[in-house]
Amino acid sequence: MKLNGAAILIECLIEQGVGTVFGFPGGAVLPIYDELYKRQDRINHVLTAHEQHAGHAADGYARASGKTGVCIATSGPGATNLVTPIATAYMDSSPVVFITGNVPQTLMGTDSFQEADISGMTMPVTKHNYLVTSVEKLAQTIREAFYIAASGRPGPVLVDIPKDVQIAETEYTPATGDELIPALSMKRSLAQLRPNGEALERYKVKAEPRLERAAQLIAEAHKPLIYCGGGVKLSGAEAELLALADRADAPIVSSLMGLGAVPADNDRMLGLLGMHGTHAANIAMQRCDLLIAVGVRFSDRALGNAASFASNAKVLHIDIDRAEINKNVTTTLHITGDARVVLDLLLSRVSQKHHDQWMQQARSMIEEYLSDELFEPRKILKAMSETAPGMTVATDVGQHQMWTAQHFPFLRPRQLITSGGLGTMGFGLGAAMGAACSDPEGRPVALITGDGSFRMNLTELSTIAYYNIPVIVVIFNNGTLGMVRQWQTLFFGHRYSQTTLDRGPDFMKLAEAYGMEGTRVDNMDALKATFKKAFDAGKPCIIECMLDIDEMVAPMVAPGSPIDSFCLN
Amino acid sequence: MYINPKNLQRYTVGVLVDNEPGVLSRVAGLFSRRGFNIESLAVGPTQDREVSRITIVVLGDDAHIEQLVQQLYKLISVQKVQVMKPRNSVERQLLLVKVKAAITEREGLMRLVDIFKAKVLDVTKNAMTLQITGDNDKITAMLGLLEDYGILELVRTGVVALERGDGVMNSDLFD
């Protein structure tokens, strides 16, 4: 059938099984919004107050559900407002397809109204991007975009569609099944995809020597340690990872992105590794003699001082992205491939080991956090997790994020939605909204945020209020940009340059302005009761927790220091 | 990515890419944002209309070049990458140079042209335009000698290179 470009785009989204998109209309996407209007029975569009948060929402949707998120924005400022969410998704390997309109091709390059070279601008922060120059290429481009976003190591893909391409008509043939997989998949390596069937057989043959050597490293190790990253979740390799830990009798530490892949209450789990890692995790890292790193990229925040990192260990690195091998940490052996496939193949070659003493030693380093304070972040997080153990939690960036990573026990993958790599303040509300929208059962999502971060995105309260999206906003209000203040305290002689937030808004009045319940709490009883009530109600609301300005995130390792040399306990 | 200046070496990297708009920017952008210094870059179509070949000379050390190759493979538009070993490859660049050439100087210049197997492309009363092809050393040597005559203007292409032997560029992404 003959359709215009805008209609073809919408048909292609339906082909991909897209049910919800986030976006904001404008001049250069009018034809697309016209088609969205006609197909609102098939595609639900969530209108945000700002394109940035539409981008984070699509990202949150993808992180919570594992499905590819979709965001639409207009040309020029609409598109440039997406740069931060695109970069955020890129750093954390989140599959999102960003669609932007652009001015008609006749006007391109003339500095016309709302014109921006968004494909040029986003080259460094997308897995791939497209400027679609003819309507005939559109359907294939959209299919490729979805394929690239979700395959291998996932990531954001941007498709920029000039307005004339949206209007031009061409023959559209719906695709199903295998037709949805574009020809370009043939170019990609076996290791970068999850091979099956005949491809898996070929992969096995190639990987065999490395699998054998890996099994040998595990057989020879006395103190093996598993380092679990976000790649484990992306690959769905949680069960295989635990099975390997059991077989090798190894404790496990996690990167920020890996939290939840192994339940926090599992006996092998030593917790978060890195700058704000647990004693047990960081010290085990320096004592182990074999590090099995799965789906991690060895971020500087996890490594501390790279040269002294895991200095007593041989390093076995399993990752789907060959470019992560030997990038930040030199490996003894690497296996490139999908974590689930590799771990599955490796398991059959590893025999049962027993390292009772090492396990005991690792577990004995786990410290219970104790505090005399009556109302403080760790107690709040503990109480929240007791009320709603499996609840999806989104965060912004700063102290509250690290406290959440340390003290909210994550029990399942995709439970924590946080901006790890880019560290985007203002990520949280959009991401929480997207995560909530991805849940077919409509369960509430908690947004744990700080007063600093929340001021960057609070305009989206209108969105969660209008659509009644069940996001429980828990603001840790300490009246400061707490993490920056912490560094000023520790490293800049207590000179609190531009970090004190002795100004509005009054978050209770704000809640009222957006027509939602707001409660300010300053003690544990009130917090518990309010949170329970909010969780049961499942409606958007704000809970403001009044905290001390000098509260700090501990433990802490100063940047660039060895990972077991804590500057704060 | 930090590279100790003491360990800098010259690498010639051949890259087969999809022949499409923006691909040069993708490749060049990757080099600059990962902190690699491009010494020269040459790009042109190949026998396959849909494929272009980029040859880049870059300074780095072994570990960084390995990282660079793997990063290049992450670009969807990149099909194949090959780091060429100097002993096992041929490389050429082309230099066009306009030198001062008063009548008294012409004979000396012509001797240089002979020695370097250069070509005279244009002669006027005051100047000569020469074409020289060769590897980096030869071109540098020629330029050194021409300096005595007075170089008015010059342009050189980037290096292009092919591996010696019957083999053609291929890649095996899994290792």
pLDDT at B165: 87
**The one-letter amino acid at A291:** L
In one-letter notation, the amino acid at residue A53 is H
Percentage with pLDDT > 90 across chain B: 70
Q: What is the pLDDT of residue A181?
A: 76
- What's the pLDDT at A182? 74
- Yes or no: say if B30 and B78 are a contact pair by the CB < 8 Å rule: no
Over the stretch A111-127, which tens digit does the pLDDT of each residue have? Answer: 999 999 999 999 999 99
pLDDT at B171: 45
Structural domain for A143, as ranges? 2-186
Q: How does pLDDT run across A255-275, given as a tens digit for each residue?
A: 999 999 999 999 999 999 999
**Nearest-CA distance from B34 to chain A in Å?**
10
> Sorting pLDDT into bands at 50, 70 and 90, what band is A226?
very high
Mean pLDDT for A465-480 is: 98
Active-site positions of A read 51, 113-114, 163, 483
From chain B, the residues in CB contact with A336 under 8 A are: 174-175
A360 in the same domain as A262: yes
Is a pLDDT exceeding 80 seen at residue B4? Answer: no
Give B78-102 pLDDT, tens digit per residue.
989 999 887 888 999 999 999 999 9
Query: Which tens digit of pLDDT belongs to each residue from A511-568?
Result: 999 999 999 999 999 999 999 999 999 999 999 999 999 999 999 999 999 999 999 8
Of A155, A186, A217, the domain-final residue: A186
Q: Is the pLDDT of residue A195 over 80?
A: no
B92 lies within 8 A of chain A by CB: no
Nearest to A562 by CA among A356, A274, A223: A274
Indicate if the alpha-carbon torsion angle A100, A28, B28, B13 is positive or negative. positive
Say how far apart CA A456 and CA A429 lie, in whole Å.
Answer: 9
Report yes or no on A555 lying in a domain.
Answer: no
Q: State whether A213 and A248 are in the same domain.
A: yes
As a whole number, mean pLDDT of residues B51-76 equals 92
Closest in A124, A184, A192 to B33, CB measured: A124
Residue numbers in A near B67 (CB within 8 A): 323, 326-327
pLDDT, tens digit, for every residue of A115-160?
Answer: 999 999 999 999 999 999 999 999 999 999 999 999 899 999 999 9
Instruction: Check CB contact of A128 with chain B, cutoff 8 Å.
Output: yes
Q: What is the pLDDT of residue A40?
A: 95
- Would you state the pLDDT for residue A339? 96
Which residue would you say has higher pLDDT here, A194 or A299? A299
Residues A239 and A146 in one domain: no
Pair (A104, A204) in one structural domain = no
Question: Helix or strand or coil: residue A517?
Answer: strand
DSSP state letters, chain B: ----GGG-EEEEEEEEEE--TTHHHHHHHHHHHTTPEEEEEEEEE-SSTTEEEEEEEEEE-HHHHHHHHHHHHHSTTEEEEEEEPGGGEEEEEEEEEEEE--TTTHHHHHHHHHHTT-EEEEE-SSEEEEEEEE-HHHHHHHHHHHTTT-EEEEEEPPPEEEESSS---------
B150 contact A CB<8A = no
Contact between A445 and A474 under an 8 Å Cβ cutoff? The reply is no
The pLDDT, as a whole number, for residue B87 is 82
User: Does position B175 have pLDDT exceeding 80, yes or no?
Assistant: no
Q: Mark yes or no for CB contact B174/A336 under 8 Å.
A: yes
Which pairing describes strands A96-102 and A157-162: parallel, antiparallel, or unpaired?
parallel
What local confidence, expressed as pLDDT, does residue A368 receive?
80
Binary contact (B74, A124; C-beta < 8 A): no
Task: Compute the CA torsion angle A480, A481, A487, A493 (nearest 10 deg).
Answer: -40
Mean pLDDT value across chain A:
95
Question: What's the gap in Å between the CA of A344 and the closest CA on chain B?
Answer: 18
Distance from the A5 Cα atom to the nearest Cα atom in chain B, whole angstroms: 21
B2 touches chain A (CB under 8 A): no
- A426 within a domain of the structure (yes/no): yes
pTM of the prediction? 0.95
**A52 and A179 both lie in a single domain:** yes
**A138, A136, A71: which is closest to A100 by C-alpha?**
A71
Average pLDDT over residues A179-190: 64
Q: What is the pLDDT of residues A372-386, one digit of tens each?
A: 889 999 999 999 999
Map out the domains of chain B with their CATH numbers.
Answer: 5-84 (3.30.70.260), 90-160 (3.30.70.1150)
CB distance B76–A191 less than 8 Å?
no
Q: What pLDDT, on a 0 to 100 scale, did the predictor assign at position B83? A: 93
Say whether both A99 and A126 belong to one domain: yes
What are the pLDDT digits (tens) for B25-60? 999 999 989 888 899 999 999 999 989 999 999 988
Q: Which among B26, B71, B74 has the least Cβ separation from residue A123?
A: B26
- Separation in Å, CA of B11 to nearest CA in chain A: 19
Domain count, chain A: 3
Of A263, A321, A252, A238, the C-alpha closest to A292 is A252
Mark whether A357 and A224 lie in a shared domain: yes
- Taking the alpha carbons of A178, A184, A189, A193 in that order, is the dihedral positive or negative? negative
Q: Which whole number is the average pLDDT over A441-458?
A: 97
- In this predicted model, what pLDDT tens digit does every residue of A484-518 receive, in sequence order? 999 999 999 999 999 999 998 999 999 999 999 99
Contact between residue A99 and residue A140 where contact means Cβ atoms under 8 Å apart? no
A83-91 and A51-65 are packed helices; what angle lies between their axes, rounded to 10 degrees? 20
- At residue A178, the pLDDT reads 77
Residue A567 lies in a domain: no
Minimum CA–CA partner of A322 in chain B: B70
Residue A494: give its domain's CATH number: 3.40.50.970
**Which residues, in sequence order, are bridge partners of residue B42?**
B55
| Position A191 pLDDT exceeds 70 | no
Please give the pLDDT value at position A187.
58
Nearest CA in chain A to B69: A323
Q: What is the per-residue pLDDT for A111?
A: 96
- Percent of chain A at pLDDT above 70? 98
**Quick one: A132 and A233 in the same domain?**
no
Residues of A in contact with B71 (CB under 8 A): 323
Residue A563 belongs to a domain: no
At residue A255, the 3 state secondary structure works out as: coil
The whole-number pLDDT of residue A184 equals 64
**A170 - beta bridge partners?**
A3
Tens of pLDDT, residue by residue over A56-70, are: 999 999 999 999 999
Q: How many CA atoms lie within 13 A of A353 on its CB side?
A: 27
Task: Tell me, yes or no, whether A349 and A419 share the same domain.
Answer: no
User: Among B29, B76, B173, whose Cβ lies nearest the Cβ of A124?
Assistant: B29
Predicted confidence band of residue B167 (pLDDT cuts 50, 70, 90): confident
Confidence check: pLDDT of A185 > 60: no
- The answer to whether A335 faces chain B, any CB pair under 8 Å, is no
Q: Do B76 and A148 touch (CB under 8 A)?
A: yes
- Taking an 8 Å cut-off on Cβ atoms, the answer to whether B22 and A192 are in contact is no
A415 and A271 within one domain: no
**Residue pLDDT, tens place only, A331-368:** 999 999 999 999 999 999 999 999 999 999 999 999 88
Separation CA A488–CA A10 (nearest Å): 50
With bands split at pLDDT 50, 70 and 90, how would you rate the model's confidence at B172?
Answer: very low
Residues A440 and A519: their CA atoms lie apart, in Å, by 28
Give the DSSP H/E element, type plus range, for residue A160. strand A157-162
CA–CA min distance A323, chain B (Å): 5
B76 contacts chain A (CB < 8 A)? yes
- ipTM at complex level: 0.90
Query: Has residue A186 got a pLDDT over 90?
Result: no
Residues B130 and B121: beta-carbon distance below 8 Å: yes
Find the mean pLDDT for residues B117-122. Answer: 96
Check if the beta carbon of residue A18 is closer than 8 Å to that of residue A43.
Answer: yes
Backbone angles phi, psi at B63, to 5 degrees: -65, -40
Taking the Cβ of residue B33 and every Cβ of chain A, the question of whether any pair is shorter than 8 Å is answered with yes
Which chain B residues contact residue A124 at CB under 8 A?
29, 33
Block residue for tokens 């660079």: B68
CB pairs under 8 A between A and B: 49
Asked whether residue A540 is assigned to any structural domain, the reply reads yes
Cα–Cα nearest to A378, from A411, A404, A410: A404
Q: Which band of pLDDT confidence, cut at 50, 70 and 90, is reported for residue A569? A: confident
Of the partner residues B29, B63, B173, the one whose CB lies closest to the CB of residue A191:
B173
User: What is the pLDDT at residue A371?
Assistant: 80
Task: Look at residue A398 and tell me if it is in a domain.
Answer: yes
Which H or E element spans position A38? helix A30-38
pLDDT, position A190: 47
Residue among B25, B63, B70 minimizing CB distance to A123: B25
Task: Verify whether the Cβ–Cβ distance A120 to B173 is below 8 Å.
Answer: no
Residue B174 has its nearest CB partner, among A184, A187, A189, at A189
pLDDT at B173: 40
Is the pLDDT reported for residue A89 higher than 90? Answer: yes
A542 & A465 share domain:
yes
User: Which of A91, A93, A123 should we substitute to test contact with B (largest number of B Cβ atoms within 10 Å)?
Assistant: A123
Do A430 and A297 lie in a common domain?
A: no
Is residue A369, in this structure, part of any structural domain at all? no
Residue A472 inside a domain? The answer is yes
